[in-house]
Amino acid sequence: MSYGIVRRLRQANETDVISELSSIVKDTDRKRGKRHEVFEPSFDWKECMSDKFICQKLDYTHANQCKGNWALVADECDYIHSSAKYYQKGEQGIYAITSWTELKDIDLTKAITKAQSSRNG
């Protein structure tokens, strides 16, 4: 979409806008070949409240490295940085995984309050 927007701006001879979009590209992104920053960065935060939603997000995360331009591995269990191997085969990979099911009953509000108290006191 951003390529289309830049193309239309060029066709309309909107050089000031194109220059502005180019000037706000971060150096690290520019080194990777990015030339324009068309959209504002955003983060689509979703609270994981149900088992179904958590499983959906894990499935998406595990499958992501096998799809699209990345296609890093054919089988998601083969991606060295993924927890897929743990969830699908019960085998730990290079990083120790604690299942989300072991964490779901922990009341994090108490842990946060306790940590804040120890910092302040």
Domain ranges of the chain: 2-31, 51-120
According to the model, what pLDDT value does residue 106 have?
81
Q: Among the listed ranges 7-11, 20-24, 41-45, 81-85, which one has the minimum average pLDDT value?
A: 41-45
According to the model, what pLDDT value does residue 41 have?
79
For residue 48, give the nearest of 101, 110, 114 by alpha carbon. Answer: 101
Amino acid at 99: S
Q: What DSSP state is assigned to residue 89?
A: H
According to the model, what pLDDT value does residue 48 have?
86
Q: Which of 15 and 68 is assigned the larger pLDDT?
A: 15
